[in-house]
A and B are shown apart, each in its own frame.
Chain A
């Protein structure tokens, strides 16, 4: 082997070792790297108890109730759902049936007291006309 082939092999070996080490570290961190917990995880007691954490999911359609400055809504991942109470300004993209991430604590009564609410946007970009068409199509499907 020429010296430069040796060096190339050493670099390739080093990178492979580094990649494997990173993969192991990341898989060990997997649980701690989550930005939010889903309602299913919260119900299964996988979320930290008595500490601040974030829950994420969809705002259940028809669940948003405003009482003065207080807003109540339900976060769902279609399997399980968690009621949330929050007082403060909501982001522009906060909509029923859309993604949301709320930070706060879970009370003993099972209600999540949020201190911060963020809207989670999905990867779909479409003009309003297309959005109306999709909505219409879904409604006719539901009627059938």
Chain B
């Protein structure tokens, strides 16, 4: 099958290079557009003033933190089920970027929380479950690093990634299931967004930029891992 052609690290290596180049270019262009819309085009918010502009970083970062974890868990499940070499490497390549986006989401949220809510941190369901996500990423990276044999490290870390995926729907639905200080979703697939159109455009452009950035760096990282293992 053609699909399995790229499952071999040697054939995937040059493809990963091409994907990395084009995604990096796209990410740079979109980030410039997104930040321009975010800082100069989008209007001030009626309630929060200028502090709301954190959403152009915070919301895409939070989306990516959850999405990357799901992708990582899918690769990990493939690693456990099919025992293919590339899937473990892909999961390993995604983890640092996921951890970075989780940290950015928590950090920017905290900076926004002080002027808006009146506190940097509260132990509500949304914030706590996002913090657990950061620990899952760090645990995944640490577990892989602690086992010398790369194939065994892949499998051990894959179990952790697959088990941890239950946390993702908890993060997403926490604002609906429980009373939280964090507000509900402004944008969802099922209803009209509750924000002004230019604000939404800026946020979506930034989300695309983050997406391409994540693809670019994980492709560069997977190439390093392939080389490291001498494939």
Q: Interface residues, chain A, CB within 8 Å of chain B? A: 4, 7-8, 11, 14-15, 18-19, 22, 26, 30, 33-38, 56, 89-95, 98, 101, 116-132
Contacts and interface: CB of A to CB of B under 8 A. Distances in A.
Interface in B56-99: 77, 80-83
A56 B179 contact: yes
Dominant secondary structure of chain B at its interface with chain A: loop
A35 B166 contact: no
Nearest to B194: A124
Interface in B139-173: 162-163, 165-166, 170
Contact of A121 (B43, B47, B163, B179): B47
Contact of A101 (B162, B181, B186): B181
Contact of B116 (A18, A93, A123): A93
A7 B43 contact: no
List the 9 closest pairs (A to B, CB-CB), nearest first.
A91-B118, A127-B43, A131-B46, A125-B195, A8-B81, A35-B124, A123-B186, A128-B46, A123-B183
Interface residues of B, number: 40
Nearest to B81: A8
Contacts of B46: 126-128, 130-132
A93 B77 contact: no
Contacts, number: 117
Contact of B45 (A89, A90, A127): A127
Dominant secondary structure of chain A at its interface with chain B: mixed
B189 interface: no
Contacts of B52: 125
A131 B49 CA distance: 12
B162 A93 contact: no
A35 B119 contact: no
B77 A11 contact: yes
A124 B153 CA distance: 45
Contacts of A8: 77, 81-82
30 contacts: A8-B81, A8-B82, A11-B81, A11-B162, A15-B162, A22-B170, A33-B177, A35-B181, A38-B179, A91-B116, A91-B117, A91-B118, A92-B115, A93-B48, A93-B117, A95-B47, A101-B181, A121-B47, A121-B48, A121-B116, A121-B183, A122-B184, A123-B183, A124-B194, A125-B45, A125-B195, A126-B196, A127-B44, A127-B45, A129-B43
A38 B162 CA distance: 37
Given A121-B183, A122-B183, A33 B178 contact: yes
Interface centre among B81, B124, B163, B195 (most CB of A within 10 A): B81
Contact of A18 (B115, B163, B178, B183): B163
A125 B186 CA distance: 8
Contacts of A123: 183-186, 194
Contacts of B43: 127-129
A118 B181 contact: yes
B120 to A, nearest CB: 11
Contact of A126 (B45, B55, B162): B45
Interface centre among B46, B55, B123, B186 (most CB of A within 10 A): B46
